[in-house]
Structure 1
């Protein structure tokens, strides 16, 4: 069993019966150098710094007692994924309903819009029409450009390669 799988097993008792969930576990530096373990946790209501610190303290002590990495020193970081981390699970999308997303589809196409709804199959985003100058409109008409997608657009999860919340300071 690899380090990541063992850490995920050790984390289970700290997940409050599923109210917290694991977004990512990374172990780097195993071959020489200091080992760094990064654990990203989240919940439907968000996770606090105090919850992260508590889990880090308890898990770190447990890993020390188990001599998890032998005699090698390690750094343990437990935090939330942060707003710049891609959305990976449907529960993360639900928490972000009403926010703007930038979605990269599996074919490389980009879609940007306000997240309207989420279900088991995918998401619906509201794509606003792009504001264009008269000269740009005229140029596109001359090129017979394909009409851009606007309005409520359904995107199945299997077509989403990456989705990030767009930060807005308006």
Structure 2
């Protein structure tokens, strides 16, 4: 699909997502046999649940049918949230990932894996895990110093004190 068509899709879908408190992160159209798949990726503070995706899908389907922006060829509409290991490209992505572990490739070279502690308009405050029993260290990285970043999945993360189960 041409950039112009993607732009038209974004113009149609962005207000629908915004009205529901979501950010339109991506719009992709890919061939799938005789059909196409229109994938709409949305996110929000606190994440996006299945009900919110279903509601947006219904609204988007109505608008797409009214405008015929997808043309006459059949397509499947898929509304989804970003994956668990999503790339972090916007300040809001980092803000939504506070408390999570991220792999960060630095613009100056090198890479680090650290927990995002805080985010402001200029960059990130990180906690870099200590090696071989050493204590974690604090580090500040400006957005300009980040070449690429991605959330890391943690399977064995211990809950923080405020996340621990409360006894009755």
Verify same fold: TM over 0.5.
Answer: yes
Find the residue that maps to 2:153 and give its secondary structure.
Answer: coil
Relative to the length of structure 2, the TM-score reads 0.79
Instruction: Report Cα offsets for 1:81-106 as digits up to 9, x if no partner.
Output: 02111122212212221221111123
Alignment partner of 1:165 is 2:167: no
The equivalent residue for 2:131 is 130
> Does the 8 Å CA contact 1:44/1:92 hold for their aligned counterparts?
no
Structure 1 residues 3 and 107, CA, compared in 2 at 3 Å: closer, same or farther? Answer: farther
Distance 1:108 1:28, change over 3 A: farther
Match of 1:87, SS? coil
Instruction: Provide the rounded CA distance (Å) in 2 between the counterparts of 1:128 and 1:102.
Output: 12
The ranges of structure 1 where at least 4 consecutive aligned residues each deviate by more than 6 angstroms after the TM superposition are none
- Aligned match of 1:42: 43
3-state secondary structure, aligned to 1:29: strand
Match of 1:89 in 2: 90
1:9 matched to 2:7? The reply is no
Aligned to 1:155: 141
TM-score by length of 1: 0.78
Alignment deviations for residues 102-125 of structure 1 (CA, whole Å, 9 cap, x no partner): 111234421111111101111111
- Structure 1: 5+ residue runs without aligned partners? 133-149
CA distance in 2, matches of 1:68, 1:128: 49
RMSD, aligned CA = 2.3
